[in-house]
Structure formats: structure tokens, C-alpha cells
Structure 1
């Protein structure tokens, strides 16, 4: 069983204008033997708002609303769990072996949120699930289980109702919202797999203001080529 097989649904957030990311993600899935069947595993068209409405940026609001939209879809479909990815996902070269190990272990656990991708360097000699004990500032490769799907959806809706700077948490980056839920509710069982199974592929950002290199047509093409070369190199070593 691979990582995507275990979940009722897997959704990959993609902005319609980012066909480059969509193509690269399809290639990434094929390279690792993860099938697309357009029902169980498919792209989710990202929300693209025109105003930030108190969020750190328009892109941050779009990211937040896109993850929320996936959770709402999962509730409508009455799924028991869901895997959520962003379209800059790059899988670890060892995901075939360690991914199977992660899923086999997860099947015997009580869990609410599971991070397959994160910024930590774990012990590669004995990969295992570890309770989240510090903020995880990424949300590109994680899963939500059981009743926590509705709980997380409701929590995000509460955030939308609050003004910026609210003491309980107003509009914020989506990964910060996940951290806020986990660290303010000790009964939420959140884990990360100590061998990082997925990274963010080098790619032009949609969340922040673009640099001069990405705003200038000729330089943007050069940057795209350099990022592809970097991704190829990273694929060999991590």
C-alpha cells in the first residue's frame, strides 16, 4: 500500500493559472507510482480572491480558503480521512519504502492530523511517528482523520469571523491556523513522520510578492530553468 492508497481521498491544491505546477506534479506522482483516478486522487482548483480581507496577503487568504474548501468537500462526501497536498510537492526518494512503513504504523494509531512533510530533520535510522511538540510552518503534505475533519473546518470558520489580531486567532497563514488548533487543544492528536516524506519543490511563489527575477520575462524563464535543475539535484539526494 502506498501513501495515497490508504486515504479515502487525496486532493492537490492548484491555481488554474499555474499549469506549470500542475504538469510537474503529475510527473512527480507518475515518477513515484502514485496514480491519478480523478475521483480518489485529483486536483482541487485553488480559491483566488481579489482582496486579502485581513490576511497577511491575498495569496495567504487564497491558500487558507483552498484548504478550507477541501475540508468542506470531504465533509460533503462523508469520507473517513483525507490527504491534502499543495502543487509544489516533491516526494522523498525513499517514499516507496518509508511511505509504506508510515501507513502501516498509522493504521494502528489514534490520530487526528498527520504530517508526512515538514521542516524537521529526523532520525533516519528508525523512522517513526512523533507527536507534534513544536510549530510546523508548512502545510504541503498532511492528512486529517475522522471527526477532526469537521472540527478543523469549524475552527477555520471561527478564524474567518474574527478580526485581525484577535487574541484567539484572526486571519492568518493556513499553517499557522493548524498550529493554533493543535497547540491550543491538547486533545488533538497530531503527529509527524520523522523521515520527511515530502518537500516543497523549487517553484515561483504564489503567496508573496515576486522578486525582480520573477517579474521580468527573460529573467523569469532563466529562473524557471534554474529551479528545474535544482529540483533534479534535490531529487537525487533527499
Structure 2
């Protein structure tokens, strides 16, 4: 069993307007031998609010609400666990080996949140799950155990209800919310796998203000082409 099939459900968050990302993600799954069946493994249509309501941007709020929506769906289905990805996922070229090692060593581990993708590049000869001991500023490839669904859901609702700048954490990026929960609640068992299984694929952002190269209609296709070339090169090296 591979890292994708291991979990009760897999959801890939995608904004309906970003058909380019959806198609690239389908290609990424197919390239690595994974099948999107639109049931166990499928896309989750991202929430697209019209206002930021205290979040850094409308896109940041939409991302936050989308991850929350995936979690609520998992709770309605009474799942044992769920693997959550964003639609800019790019798997490591070693995903078959890394993923196998990750899920085998996950067996028997008492966990709440685990990161398969992260920003750390550790020189680790032996693959292992390490306790999260610093912020992980990404949420593109992670899993949540069913025993943590309620705690995480309740915390996210608390964040939504607080004003910006609240000492316990007001509206923020979703990855920051995960970090805050892990930091403030020592009973949450969070780990990351030392062998990085996946990265963010170069792609136009939906969370921040676009650069002039993405705003100008004549330049946007050129940027798209350059990002695809960069992604192709990265597939050879990481």
C-alpha cells in the first residue's frame, strides 16, 4: 500500500477557477502511479469568500475555511483519518520509497497530526518521524488522525471568532493556526517525516497580491510556461 491509499480519505483542495492547477495535479498523481477516483481520493472545492473578515487577505480566509471544510467532511463521514493536500502538490521523485517508509513507521505511533511535506532539508540517513519542535509554515501535504478531528475543528472555530491580534490567536494563515494549536496544546502529538515526501509546485498564488508579471495579460502565459519548466527541473532534483 502506498502513502495515498493508506488513509481513509484523501482530499486535494482546489479553487474551481484554477483549472490549471487541477490539471497539473492530475498529471502529478498519474506520473507517480496514484489514481484520483473522486471518491476515496478526490478534489475538494475550495471556499471562495468575498471578504477577508480580519484575515491577511480574502484568499487566506478562503484557504483557512477550505481546510476547515475538509475536516468537517471527515467528521461527517466518521473517518479514522484523512490526508489533506493542496493543489500545488509536487511529490518527491522518491515518493514510492519515502512514502512506504513513512506509512510503515507510522504504524504503532500515537499521532494526531503528521506532515509528509515540510520546509526542512535534514541530512538523515535513517527515515523517522520527529516531533514537531518548530513552526512548519506549510500545509500542502499533511494528515489528521480521527481522534484529533474535534480538537482541531473547535480550535479553528475559536480562531474565526477572535479579533485580529488576539493573544490566543485571531484570524491567521491556516498553517499558522496548526502551529499555534501544536504549540499551545502539548497533548497534541504532531510529527514530520525526516524524508520530505512532497513539495509545493511552482504556481501562481491565490493568497497574496500578484506580481506585475501575473497581472499583465500578455505576461501571464509566459510566467506560466516558466513555472512549468521550473517544476519539470525540480522533479529531477528533489
Distance 1:16 1:50 in 2: 15
TM superposition shift of 1:146:
2.1
Q: Secondary structure at the match of 1:29?
A: helix
Distance 1:59 1:146 in 2: 27
TM superposition shift of 1:233:
0.2
TM superposition shift of 1:123:
2.5
TM superposition shift of 1:7:
0.4
Q: In the alignment, which residue of structure 1 is the partner of 2:23?
A: 23
Output one character per residue of 1:65-92: Cα deviation in whole Å (capped at 9) or x when no partner: 0000000000000000000000000000
Distance 1:91 1:151 in 2: 29
Q: In the alignment, which residue of structure 2 is the partner of 1:87?
A: 87
TM superposition shift of 1:36:
1.1
Q: In the alignment, which residue of structure 2 is the partner of 1:219?
A: 219
Q: Secondary structure at the match of 2:4?
A: helix
Query: Where do 1:51-70 residues align within 5 Å?
Result: 51-70=51-70
Q: In the alignment, which residue of structure 2 is the partner of 1:106?
A: 106
Output one character per residue of 1:94-113: Cα deviation in whole Å (capped at 9) or x when no partner: 01011001000101210000
Q: Is structure 2 residue 83 aligned with structure 1 residue 121?
A: no
Query: Where do 1:39-58 residues align within 5 Å?
Result: 39-58=39-58
Q: Secondary structure at the match of 1:36?
A: coil
TM superposition shift of 1:128:
1.1
Taking structure 1 as the reference length, the TM-score comes to 0.99
Query: Where do 1:1-238 residues align within 5 Å?
Result: 1-238=1-238
Distance 1:19 1:156 in 2: 28
Distance 2:149 2:10 in 1: 13
Structure 1 residue ranges without an equivalent (≥5): none
Taking structure 2 as the reference length, the TM-score comes to 0.99
Moved segments of 4+, more than 4 Å: none
Give the length in aligned residue pairs.
238
Distance 2:56 2:8 in 1: 32
Q: Secondary structure at the match of 1:84?
A: strand
